[in-house]
Amino acid sequence: MTREGDALALRLFESMGTTLRETLDGLGEHDLDRPCSHGCAMGGGVRRLLVHNAEHDRQHAAAISNARIAARAMQESQRAMLLRDWLRERVELIGQLLGAGADVLDLTAPGDEWSVREHVEHVLHWERDSMDVALAEVREAAAR
């Protein structure tokens, strides 16, 4: 990723991973109603802080979109749109796993042969496999 915007996007993604690992992983359902003194909790508890943080991201995404529109620098790149769509779907997949214990990971939907865990392992394997092949082929074509 050589573009500055790509670098910022990666920082946001990595920050989300750090927050999930170091903060949210330690919170249980019972913690959501605990008080929180941070100003972003707006006088509420941890639940309100998390709601605020999601709305905060939405608000800033809209502001960035508005700035791009005003500057006539809208996101028209096919690459950027494909990556945005993939990230949106990946976040949905990640969201389905949050808070899931082994009992959930071993579930199989009616008519499905794979468990939740097997679906995730499939995604992880084929993402790496497909991207490794694509990158090798792009590099090979560039070398010609």
Q: How confident is the model at residue 129 (pLDDT cuts 50, 70, 90)?
A: very high
In a domain, 116, yes or no: no
Q: What is the mean pLDDT of the chain?
A: 93
In the chain, what is the greatest distance between 2 CA atoms, to the nearest angstrom? 62
Instruction: Specify the number of domains making up the chain.
Output: 1
Check pLDDT > 80 for residue 5. Answer: yes
pTM of the full structure: 0.80
In a domain, 114, yes or no: no
- What does the pLDDT average to over 105-126? 96
- Top mean-pLDDT range of 21-25, 75-79, 105-109: 105-109
Residue 126, pLDDT score: 95
Check pLDDT > 80 for residue 1. Answer: no
Residue 94, pLDDT score: 92
Secondary structure letter of residue 3 according to DSSP: S
DSSP string, 4-60: HHHHHHHHHHHHHHHHHHHTGGG--GGGTTSB--SGGGTTSBHHHHHHHHHHHHHHH
In a domain, 18, yes or no: yes
- What does the pLDDT average to over 52-66? 95
Q: How confident is the model at residue 25 (pLDDT cuts 50, 70, 90)?
A: confident
Q: How confident is the model at residue 2 (pLDDT cuts 50, 70, 90)?
A: low
In a domain, 11, yes or no: yes
Q: How far apart are CA 134 and CA 8, in angstroms?
A: 24
In a domain, 56, yes or no: yes
In a domain, 38, yes or no: yes
In a domain, 4, yes or no: yes
Check pLDDT > 60 for residue 63. Answer: yes
Print the domain residue range for 65.
1-76
Per-residue pLDDT tens for 75-105? Answer: 889 999 999 999 999 999 999 998 899 999 9
Q: How far apart are CA 101 and CA 106, in angstroms?
A: 9
In a domain, 108, yes or no: no
Residue 48 and residue 41 in contact, taking contact as beta carbons nearer than 8 Å: yes
